[in-house]
A and B are shown apart, each in its own frame.
Chain A
Amino acid sequence: NAGVTQTPKFRVLKTGQSMTLLCAQDMNHEYMYWYRQDPGMGLRLIHYSVGEGTTAKGEVPDGYNVSRLKKQNFLLGLESAAPSQTSVYFCASTRSSRSGNTIYFGEGSWLTVV
């Protein structure tokens, strides 16, 4: 039972480099999300998707792009990494828009930008 899987788990980038975080879920969920977690800030929504081929901006989308080409995958891209993007990134998914549905989280990806 894999659930939500994120890769890579750890990464160190230099300022200006690009990278992609991959999120995969095997629960046939429609909705997927990318959050970032920073000390004292809780989790903040970066981008989300309500289905294959759709994406939307969350609370803190600047500096990130996303794609949902396949239902099971949700990619988060950093085109030109900045030290302010040092954070822990969490992917999450849920079945539908019915209020109260459980949202499942991946184990996190620790990103450091130097």
Chain B
Amino acid sequence: GNSVTQMEGPVTLSEEAFLTINCTYTATGYPSLFWYVQYPGEGLQLLLKATKADDKGSNKGFEATYRKETTSFHLEKGSVQVSDSAVYFCALSGEGGSEKLVFGKGTKLTVNP
């Protein structure tokens, strides 16, 4: 079945540092890939997504590129801020219906001033 493996945290960075959170997946066919963010005490919000190979999703300075050859969708940001402190989830939904999302276990990011 479909699965997502993401880098386990926690990750602690200083403000303006470069961020990478690794995500790899196992799926048949051509899934869609997502990054969701969960701020403390809140629900999940879509951060970015990519629906086909070589697509780059981007939002709020975050980027991730759908790499089918390496089955990866790594999240990057060039300069993190304290407000980026949150838990980040990589997820995929399989092609062909029902749109069930399969999530990674989440990576907690803390950015210190």
Residue ranges of A at the interface with B (Cβ–Cβ < 8 Å)? 4, 31, 33, 35, 40-45, 48, 50, 58, 90, 92, 94, 96-108
Q: How many A-B residue pairs have CB under 8 A?
A: 66
Q: Does B25 contact A (CB under 8 A)?
A: no
Closest Cβ neighbor of B94 among chain A residues: A99
Q: B89 touching A31 by the CB < 8 A rule?
A: no
Chain A residues lying within 8 Å of B35, measured Cβ to Cβ, are none
Taken together as a complex, chains A and B put the C-alpha atoms of A40 and B89 apart, in Å, by: 12
Selected A-B contacts with CB under 8 Å, 28 pairs: A4-B43, A31-B99, A35-B103, A41-B105, A42-B89, A42-B103, A42-B106, A43-B101, A44-B103, A48-B98, A50-B98, A58-B100, A94-B99, A96-B99, A97-B99, A99-B32, A99-B95, A99-B99, A100-B49, A100-B93, A101-B99, A102-B49, A103-B34, A103-B46, A103-B99, A104-B46, A105-B45, A108-B43
In angstroms, how far is the closest chain B Cβ from the Cβ of A109?
A: 10
Chain A residues lying within 8 Å of B49, measured Cβ to Cβ, are 100, 102
Interface range, B side: 20 to 34
Sample of 13 more A-B contacts, CB < 8 Å, known A33-B100, A33-B101, A103-B99: A4-B43, A31-B98, A31-B99, A43-B89, A43-B101, A50-B98, A98-B99, A99-B32, A99-B94, A100-B51, A104-B46, A105-B43, A105-B44
Taken together as a complex, chains A and B put the C-alpha atoms of A44 and B89 apart, in Å, by: 12
Taken together as a complex, chains A and B put the C-alpha atoms of A103 and B43 apart, in Å, by: 12
- Contact partner of A99 among B31, B36, B104, CB < 8 A? B31
Within 8 A of A (CB), among B3-60: 30-32, 34, 36, 42-46, 49, 51
Q: Return the 3 tightest CB-CB contacts between A and B, nearest first.
A: A100-B51, A97-B97, A100-B32
